[in-house]
Structure 1
Amino acid sequence: MISAYLDYTLLSHTATEAEIISLCNEARKSNLNSICINSCYVKLAKELLLDTDVKICSTVGFPTGSASTESKIFEAKNAITEGAHEIDMVMNLGLLKSKNYISVMKDISSVKKAIGKTILKVNIEISELNKNEIVKASQLCIDANADYIKTSTGFSKSGATFTAVKIIKKTVRDSIQIKASGDITTLEAAQKFIDIGVSRVGLSPNLKLRKALLRLN
Structure 2
Amino acid sequence: MDEKEILKLIDHTQLQADATWEDIVSLCDDAVKYKTATVCIPPTYLKRVHDKYGDDLKLCTVIGFPLGYSCTAAKVVEAQEAIKDGAEEIDTVVNVSDVKNHRYDEVKKELEEIRKACGDKLLKVIIETCYLTEDEKKELCKIVTDVKADYIKTSTGFGSAGATLEDIELFKKNIGPDVKIKAAGGIRTIEDAVAYAEAGCSRIGSSKVLPLVVKKYGL
Query: Could you say which TM-score interval applies, normalised by the shorter chain?
Result: over 0.9
Q: Please point out which of 2, 6, 9 is paired with 1:2.
A: 6
After the TM superposition, which segments of 4 or more aligned residues of structure 1 sit over 3 Å from their partners?
A: 213-217
TM-score under structure 2 normalisation? 0.93
What percent identity do the matched residue pairs reach? Answer: 37
CA-to-partner distance for each residue in 1:117-168, whole Å, 9 max, x for gaps? Answer: 1101110001111111111111111111111101000111111100111111
Structure 1 match to 2:214? 213
Amino acid at match of 1:98: N
2:7 equivalent to 1:17: no
Gap change, CA 1:178 and 1:70, over 3 Å in 2: same
Contact 1:21 1:48 (8 Å CA) reproduced: no
Residue in 1 that maps onto 2:101:
98
Counterpart position of 2:146: 143
Quote the residue 2:62 is aligned against.
Answer: 59
CA contact 1:3–1:216 (8 Å) conserved in 2: no
Partners of 2:147 and 2:166 in 1: CA distance: 24
How many angstroms does 1:3 deviate by?
2.0
What residue number does 1:47 align with? Answer: 51
Letter matched to residue 160 of structure 1: A
User: For residue 176 of structure 1, what is the aligned residue in structure 2?
Assistant: 179
| Residues 187 and 173 (structure 1), Cα distance of their counterparts in 2 relative to 1, 3 Å cut | farther
Matched, 1:81 2:91: no
Q: Superposed, which structure 2 residues align to 1:144-159 within 5 Å?
A: 144-159=147-162
User: Residue 30 of structure 1: CA displacement?
Assistant: 0.7
Structure 2 unmatched ranges of 5 or more: none
Contact 2:150–2:178, Cα closer than 8 Å, also in 1: no
What does the per-residue CA deviation read over 1:43-67, in whole Å, with 9 as the maximum and x for residues that have no partner? 1221333241x31011111001111
Q: Secondary structure at the match of 1:198?
A: coil
Helix, strand or coil: the match of 2:54? coil
Q: Which residue of 1 aligns with 2:36?
A: 32
What is the TM-score of this pair, normalised by structure 1? 0.94
